[in-house]
Structure 1
């Protein structure tokens, strides 16, 4: 009888232990599952006008749309805004009074399209997509880009609004070219997104630095500099002094750093550190430049970093649309 009671007690304890073990396993599985759950869809864009741009992109993403369609629709919002002085219609002109636009786009299949020094077309991002989808090329520039746009039915318009023209004529009195950090450099909208299918795309569009030399091209239309997407790894886009971004092939660098295990935040920080190092080697003043990166990986994790304070970016996901001040290097 004692042996029977001992057996029952042992069996009961074993059952409890097994149940507790199973419960623990279930908890661990749920925890791991929660940690590994990808946050999608999600869209990021540079600067405070990214909030409105994100809303347009989100309308597509929330309805199971493609990331490529979302980023094009998103950046078209500031492109069409005559009060936005650094992108598209209403953008500040070059030193000759010409509004020249740059843009590029990239999808999940590494299809790319770009236009540079394009005049008279309100939505260069859509022309860039047309280059990607309807030509054997990846970049068209200047008059060639304009002629292609007109052949595709884009409308030729005067992009120099009255206020921008007034500012340009005032600038002509001194003709001093000294871009002001976070004002003149507030010159790009870059947008990266992941859709519900887990696919990534990106877009970048700008009117470039105000009062630049005619023909100047920054990083924005250059795949690998102002924008890069690798659908296996992540995506990145940049804003600020394009020359500094081009110098390090910035967005390609950020994505490659993520490939080698960096988080989006770590990758952005390392890319900015590369710019800082080269700036010091060239005996240039860091206070005169601003570069900011934003990045997104396949897990839906994001990050950002910039040379000095003042850069912000917008994030829209399942928890809403919000503006975030990017961390920065230069503290004084």
Structure 2
């Protein structure tokens, strides 16, 4: 199943999701923390890289950086750059599918072990959006730069502008344009993102997320991917999470932040991802049958989790010399219709 089919309506079957775990209680002494941070004594060996989708080349690059002594921040940036340069992927960076006007616009963010973060939205003509996001984090007093301002900043930092619309993506847009409806209808849009999380040999966590967004989106549309707390969140005391899927639904629940906070309360990464999906599908009048959201997460001990609304979502994991794709469990595997 190709990643681009991710938000298409999936076949549904089965019964319920296990939600709701007892929250850890708070000591009345104000000097004590609500929850003791997860310790660095590992149940899994480090370093570790996980990413959304089937992206073994990207996770291999990230692990190469980590094994050479690089930081988790360096690893997620370099790993995401692999997919941004992959023209055949048509999902992020050069070759990404355009908006309804035939323009490729990119969104990306990055977050380090200290909680510093940078983001770019509606970026044009610059292939490596994740690296521009890192420059925003490190070289400006801001968190987010958008549109022409983001492009001007990128050029000032030495990034070379180029045409990101490949012939294959242009042909796909022209075919869609023949029968397109110019209103936001989910079932005519496709989407995917690469989100990556890494823990280095020091036990420090960083994350990054980069995307070309919904294919044939309205011009100016921004999803969850460049929004800290929605598409990505890192808390180096606890863990990290990244999202993919229909960004509008992730934003409504501040999904990645939610997953990390659930881990802070004692959930495993898997339990936290499942509960965060539950927050979406259990909302009154949710039309979750018509869209997809997936989360991947890791905690400070190196435990991982992934979960989605519908099937066909996968996580790539590189650990202990194995770089493998793991099919994620999903809500409708056990949901009665």
Q: TM-score, normalised by structure 2?
A: 0.84
Q: Does 1:313 align with 2:319?
A: no
Matching residue of 2:86: 81
Structure richer in helix, relative to its length: 1
TM-superposed CA distance for 1:68, in Å, is: 0.2
For residues 135-181 of structure 1, the C-alpha deviation after alignment (integer angstroms, 9 at most, x for no partner) is 00000000000000011110010000001111111111111354459
Name the larger-Rg structure.
Answer: 1
CA spacing shift, 1:205–1:36, aligned 2, 3 Å: closer
2:239 equivalent among 209, 230, 234: 234
Whether the 8 Å CA contact 1:117–1:142 is kept in 2: the answer is yes
TM-superposed CA distance for 1:128, in Å, is: 0.1
2:305 equivalent among 293, 303, 306: 303
Matching residue of 1:330: 332
Larger relative contact order (C-alpha < 8 A, sep ≥ 6)? 2
Matched residue SS, 2:88: coil
TM-superposed CA distance for 1:113, in Å, is: 0.3
1:184 equivalent among 176, 180, 190: 190
Q: TM-score, normalised by structure 1?
A: 0.85
Q: Does 1:253 align with 2:255?
A: no
2:228 equivalent among 206, 223, 226: 223
Looking at structure 2, the residues matched to 271 and 64 of structure 1 have their Cα atoms a distance apart, in angstroms, of: 34
Structure 2: where are the runs of 5+ without partners? 1-40
TM-superposed CA distance for 1:65, in Å, is: 1.4
Looking at structure 1, the residues matched to 109 and 268 of structure 2 have their Cα atoms a distance apart, in angstroms, of: 25
Whether the 8 Å CA contact 2:280–2:288 is kept in 1: the answer is no
Q: Does 1:98 align with 2:98?
A: no
2:50 equivalent among 27, 44, 48: 44
Matched residue SS, 1:43: strand
Cα RMSD for the two superposed structures: 1.4
Matching residue of 2:288: 286
**The 10-residue stretch of structure 1 (167-176 or 73-82) with the greater mean CA deviation from structure 2:** 167-176
Whether the 8 Å CA contact 1:224–1:250 is kept in 2: the answer is yes
For residues 23-80 of structure 1, the C-alpha deviation after alignment (integer angstroms, 9 at most, x for no partner) is xxxxxxxxxxxx95442110000001x2111000010111221000000000101100
Whether the 8 Å CA contact 1:46–1:314 is kept in 2: the answer is yes
After superposition, residues 31-70 of structure 1 pair within 5 angstroms as 36-48=42-54, 50-70=55-75
Matching residue of 2:140: 135
TM-superposed CA distance for 1:328, in Å, is: 0.2
TM-superposed CA distance for 1:218, in Å, is: 0.2
Looking at structure 2, the residues matched to 178 and 58 of structure 1 have their Cα atoms a distance apart, in angstroms, of: 39
Aligned length: 292
Whether the 8 Å CA contact 1:179–1:209 is kept in 2: the answer is no
